[in-house]
Chains A and B, each alone.
Chain A
Amino acid sequence: MSPGAFSDRQIFMVGLGGQGILLLARALAVWAATTGREVITSETHGMAMRGGTVTASLKVGRYAGPLIPPGAADVLIGLDEQEALSHLPMLRQGGVSVVNAATDTGTFSHVVDASGIARSLGAPGAANMIVLGRAALVLGIDRADIGEIVERLSPAKVVETNRKALQAGFEGGAR
């Protein structure tokens, strides 16, 4: 393992309560841990989960604290376009953003219409998995590996839906 290949990374995630950001964050954390590196995350619980701004952080590598300072995130993943926009300063210069938005305005480096795709799949609640699929594609994460993790972490009733949504994210993103 060359140190360069395993440099420390910080991923900031944002959305609204109820969109399923915690499952997305957890799946990425579990995946990162399988690469043999240290992982520390931060989640939002409590009142904000009722439709308020919900953020999550994932830090991979030699970090002690769970929060990402503004301007230091390597990657920003947004489940809500407005929230992603207002948290854009969390990204470092040259950082990468993967955002759920209906149209690509050029503000973000990667855009996927996850809400639209989720509706067409008949699973409006699965937009989080579509964004995860797209983010995994961007981050070079193996489709089968992240798929297995999502299946393991999903509640039994939504395993199938989440699997489909994740794949749709990979495909919808492969433009």
Chain B
Amino acid sequence: MAHAHRRWGAGENIVDKGAVDLFMSTQTRAPAATEKKGDKAHEILLGNEAIAHGILASGANVVASYPGTPASEVCTTAMRLASQRDLPVHVEWSINEKTAVEVAFTNSITGRRSAATMKQVGLNVASDPVISAAYMGVTGGLLLVVADDPGPHSSQTEQDTRLFAVHAKVPVLDPMSPREALEMTMQAFEFSERYKTPVILRPTTRVCHARQLVEPPDIKPFSRRPDFRKDPSRWAATPGPRLVLHRELNAKLREIEQHPWARPRLVHGSGDTGLAVVSSGVACAYLLDVIAELGSRQDLSIYKIDMPFPLDRHALSSLTGRHSRILVVEETEPVIEMQFINRERVSGRMDGMVPDAGELTPDVVARVLEEFTGTRSLTHPAVSAKQRTPSLCAGCSHRAAFYSVKRALPGGIYASDIGCYTLGLNLGGVDTCLCMGAAVSQAAGFFHAFKDTSAPPPVAAIIGDSTFFHAGIPPTINALVTGARFVLVVLDNATTAMTGHQPTPATGGMTNDYSGRMLSLEEAIAGCGVKTVRIHDPYDVDGFTKVVKEAYTRTEAEGVTAVIARHPCIRDRRALRAQTHYAMRVTEECTGCGLCVREFECPAISVADKRARIDASLCIGCGVCVQVCPVEAIAAEEES
């Protein structure tokens, strides 16, 4: 901060207060529905939107997905385009990624084109069908869009899908921009059909959530008749024929190594320089920007890799013959680097020149390049800006639910899960968050760990509605039939909120044509064998606390009991309008004890000078905090 003031303080380096001539205001403009560039209509599309356009323009008939940042908008866009243009396409929000891949793969073994889209950790959930599908191959194009999140910004891990692709023996494409993601998507389907293999497109957050001028391809209704040729030795292969399929897959990969995508592509320099950089994905884009900023260094050659696996190893070897030293810049694991047979002249993640964790931002790329070339180049100041941590929204019913669970089960262990409600950790309502669905199995694990101790703590599994459907059902059944005892609290806000409000099985609307039935959450939980399933609005703090307490007492006899915390997400404007609004006021009674901040953590409440304050611009008037204040110093007046 002090540094910032010194450099940019009052009177220094500040231009005139008048208009700044940054964008000359004299040029002709054509603001229209789309931006004109040359003769063709271009649109500023998000990388994920560009990919969705590419999928539908390639004639995919099935698109299946489970939402997850940074991948969600691919399926959202596909669903919107399919319904707006009435396309003969089935777009679905599947219950989880494994199901999405299985539905899409099966369409692709009837000769039709399909796509399954997910985030990188979703691929873990789908790993079983993906690895098996690679052996079987496809007859119609199958594209798996798997978005990685180096950083990580919105994920549990920084895992590299390209490395997973090596493990699964599936070709993987690594686009560096929305425009390239669109081009690769369009070509991937033909590639998939030519080699009869699934293909992975691996955009990263900075491609998914970048916008660029792209020319969206025409989407023509395209319908291939399904043609499923029964071939049990392939589609139902037992271990014997699987060996044959494995050999066939290896032969395919050797053939794919001859494809131009498998060879490094010179994108800068002459190819005759001593130093060379090999790169892929958005890291390559930063590299090109850094080089441009340095005034286009001609002593350096830059090669781009479009398909990091499988690579033409001979082409890689010839690079080590041509250049004295090679730097590999890629996100996030050394996938290209490891495929160099001789790494004597190669630097990258494996010798520590490139940091072994974290996102490769332009300043990191510049620093690495500086070290590799041994010249001081660009000096980027270090920005150590403290990132403000996110918080559950003011008025979010999850906050009320966490507060009540803490009161109902004091000294308890609260196993939780993936979603908005992970932010319940801010108010001490979340002790664990492992992966989708783990709240339920971890609650069982804690129960078994502590059951023989003198005073086992009460255990709760706290999981969202969409997450429960995704991966919470098998562990609920498992807990019930293996003797675990805990309260299952399902936070039911009737949406998949964190990823942009996708539907859930209980809300309906899982497909573009609204086919399919709805399944109520309580029926699903009861169907797992849970006898006590109570439903209560967590806005009623005392009532909800009592319900959780009662449910916990019943675990003694019933094992797993459930409480559904039902209140719609307040980001749903209609739901927000429908609820009662209060004008909130802190009275003279306030002692400034800070419990409302410490235990309840509403972003609209702060304490300063021994007095709580409610920020009216953040408060939505839910009135829940009235029930939280121990000295009744918060007053609520109903608004009409």
Contacts and interface: CB of A to CB of B under 8 A. Distances in A.
A157 B35 CA distance: 24
Contact of B383 (A74, A87, A107): A87
A30 B44 contact: yes
Q: Chain A binding site: helix, strand, loop or mixed by DSSP?
A: mixed
B27 A89 contact: no
B302 to A, nearest CB: 11
B13 interface: yes
Contacts of A23: none
A121 to B, nearest CB: 13
Nearest to A18: B393
Interface residues of B, number: 83
A103 interface: no
Contacts, number: 232
B154 A48 contact: yes
A122 interface: no
A1 B28 CA distance: 11
A67 B381 CA distance: 15
Contacts of A164: none
Contact of A139 (B20, B26, B389): B20
Interface stretch (B4-12, B138-146, B313-321, B629-637): B4-12
Interface in B3-61: 3-5, 7-11, 13-15, 17, 19-27, 29-31, 33, 35-37, 42, 44, 46
B356 to A, nearest CB: 20
B29 A67 contact: no
A35 interface: yes
A161 interface: no
B288 interface: yes
B363 A29 contact: no
Given A65-B362, A70-B380, A85 B1 contact: yes
A46 B69 contact: yes
Interface stretch (B158-166, B192-200, B204-212): B204-212
Given A50-B392, A70-B380, A74-B22, A45 B209 contact: yes
Contact of A26 (B17, B26, B44, B617): B44
Residue of B70, B282, B378, B385 contacting most chain A CB atoms (<10 Å): B385
B27 A1 contact: yes
A16 B394 CA distance: 14
A42 B383 contact: no
Q: Chain B binding site: helix, strand, loop or mixed by DSSP?
A: loop
Contacts of B498: 46-47, 50
Interface in B371-416: 378-383, 385-393
A44 B153 contact: yes
Contacts of B23: 9, 32, 35, 60, 139-141
A138 B176 CA distance: 33
Contacts of B168: none
Contacts of B13: 93-95
Given A67-B362, A119-B617, A96 B286 contact: no
Given A52-B387, A70-B382, A91 B212 contact: no
B380 A72 contact: yes
A50 B390 contact: yes
Contacts of B177: 40, 64-66
16 contacts: A30-B44, A36-B27, A41-B212, A47-B69, A47-B153, A52-B390, A53-B385, A65-B286, A66-B210, A71-B380, A95-B13, A106-B9, A124-B617, A137-B19, A139-B20, A139-B23
Given A36-B36, A140-B22, 6 more contacts: A34-B31, A51-B393, A64-B284, A65-B285, A88-B7, A109-B15
Interface of B: 1, 3-5, 7-11, 13-15, 17, 19-27, 29-31, 33, 35-37, 42, 44, 46, 69-70, 72-73, 153-154, 176-178, 206, 209-213, 282, 284-286, 288-290, 292-293, 361-363, 366, 378-383, 385-393, 420, 422-423, 498-500, 603, 617
